């Protein structure tokens, strides 16, 4: 169960009480991410997130923040996505006032000290280097920059190094002031807390402001595809990273859960079609999975695999064969049941954790989607019919719309293109 409170300025509080725990999580989401950026300031949302930990007027530097949280054994972090930025602290519930105070201080009173900004430039560049040096992580950026090229979803979250190295203190601060306002926030509390006391604390530390609208994401307009698109990042690797994907329904589309069921059947677990047929029976990869990257207006249905470089072409042909088999013959009633049961089990386990349950709800609220709690979502999944999933597969898997990204020792796109076109 949860409670949703809309405040007078349009900000929203989500409460998830859970009395059988001794911990509490406080989390805030702002509706700002790389989707709000331009080519010139790409990376600024992520940079601002880093600066929230670099000192406030009451807690002058990073050490003051980390020592205070470490002294109570808290878990704390922040994250930037393409559509929102979040901050959270989980601690012994007796320290909830500190958690609320800390995040309030960070998001309202960070100093944007010029020396700290310059030091953080190097930290973020090293973070970019870390991702690019790990093909397993980097392939997703390569793929989305490729598939969503020409739109604001095609920009990376970290941004290009030149932006990080040159963006001014004023640009960072003005961007922060533009998007870090009360009506653009969703506030969440989960775990063991006294509701009246917690709300009093939140109202004090996150005071109401002039009512205004939450950020609206502009509709994504992508060029029409008439042929598969391929991007290769040449690297001398023994294990190639491959990601094949197709555009699909928006994250808040009423039929999006049908896409998730399809992803589960194809590559959501170790008994899925791709895992059994591509890895276990044919031995063509170490890992393979199907998943969704959900966004407002458009999402991506992806298949990712880590492959021996000598078996890359063979594996791509085998993946295509599996996809064609789903389109032509459909999935079975048994596969549908197993996918539903798997999704049900995973959701129940995930939402047993109060912090995970809170983030699940906040992520829906931040895009102004009607919040579906566990029971409602499971009921929707139960209602999905075999014909629904088989039709979704036909809608998604159209080869002229395929997008392929590869990190490995290749240069020529033609052989890959030939496989996707035939």
Q: Which two tokens stand for residue 115?
A: 């020396």
- Work out whether the CA dihedral 181, 186, 190, 195 comes out positive or negative: positive
Q: Helix (H) and strand (E) counts for the chain? A: 16, 11
Q: Which residues are 233's β-sheet partners?
A: 407
Q: Which residues are 27's β-sheet partners?
A: 88, 188
Residues 328-362: b if buried by 16+ CB within 10 A, e if exposed: eebbeeebbebbbebbeeebeeebebbbebbbbbb
SS3 120: helix
CA–CA dist 320, 328 (Å, integer): 12
CA–CA dist 229, 244 (Å, integer): 10
CA–CA dist 92, 75 (Å, integer): 10
Concatenating the DSSP letter of every residue in 354-411 gives HHHHHHHHHHHHTTTPPP--HHHHHHHHHT--HHHHHHHHHHH--GGG-EEEEEES--
Provide the 10 A C-beta neighbour count for residue 414: 8
CA–CA dist 229, 245 (Å, integer): 10
What is the set of active-site residues?
Answer: 49
């Amino acid at each position: 169960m949860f409670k949703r409170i809309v405040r007078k300025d349009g900000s929203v509080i989500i409460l998830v009480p859970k009395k059988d725990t001794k911990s509490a999580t406080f989390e805030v989401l702002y509706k700002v991410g790389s989707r709000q950026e331009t080519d010139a300031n790409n990376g600024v949302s992520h940079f601002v997130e880093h600066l929230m930990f670099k000192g406030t007027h009451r807690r002058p530097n990073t050490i003051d923040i980390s020592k205070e949280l470490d002294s109570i054994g808290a878990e704390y972090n922040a994250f930037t996505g393409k559509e929102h930025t979040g901050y959270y602290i989980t601690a012994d519930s007796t320290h909830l006032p500190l958690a609320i105070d800390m995040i309030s201080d960070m998001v309202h009173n960070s100093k944007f000290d010029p020396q700290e900004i310059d030091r953080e430039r190097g930290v973020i560049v090293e973070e970019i280097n870390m991702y690019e040096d790990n093909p397993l992580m980097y392939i997703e950026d390569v793929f989305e920059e490729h598939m969503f090229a020409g739109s604001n979803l095609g920009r990376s979250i970290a941004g290009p190094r030149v932006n990080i190295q040159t963006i001014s203190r004023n640009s960072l601060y003005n961007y922060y002031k533009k998007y870090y306002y009360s009506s653009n926030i969703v506030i969440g509390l989960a775990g063991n807390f006294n509701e009246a006391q917690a709300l009093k604390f939140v109202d004090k530390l996150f005071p109401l402001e002039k009512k205004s609208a939450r950020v609206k994401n502009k509709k994504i307009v992508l060029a029409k595809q008439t042929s598969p698109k391929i991007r290769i990042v040449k690297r001398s690797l023994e294990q190639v990273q491959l990601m094949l994907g197709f555009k699909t329904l928006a994250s808040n589309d009423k039929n999006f859960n049908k896409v998730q069921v399809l992803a589960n059947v194809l590559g959501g677990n170790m008994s899925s079609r791709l895992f059994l047929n591509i890895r276990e029976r044919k031995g063509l990869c170490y890992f393979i999975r199907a998943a969704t990257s959900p966004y407002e207006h458009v999402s991506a249905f992806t298949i990712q695999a880590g492959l021996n470089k000598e078996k890359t072409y063979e594996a791509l042909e085998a993946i295509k064969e599996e996809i064609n088999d789903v389109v032509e013959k459909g999935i079975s009633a048994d596969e549908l049941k197993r996918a539903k049961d798997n999704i049900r089990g995973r959701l129940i386990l995930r939402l047993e954790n109060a912090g995970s349950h809170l983030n699940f709800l906040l992520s829906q609220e931040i895009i102004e989607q009607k919040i579906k709690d566990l029971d409602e979502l499971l009921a929707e999944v139960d209602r999905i019919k075999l014909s629904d999933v088989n039709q979704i597969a036909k809608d998604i898997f159209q080869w002229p719309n395929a997008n392929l990204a590869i990190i490995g020792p290749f240069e020529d796109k033609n052989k890959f293109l030939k496989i996707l076109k035939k």
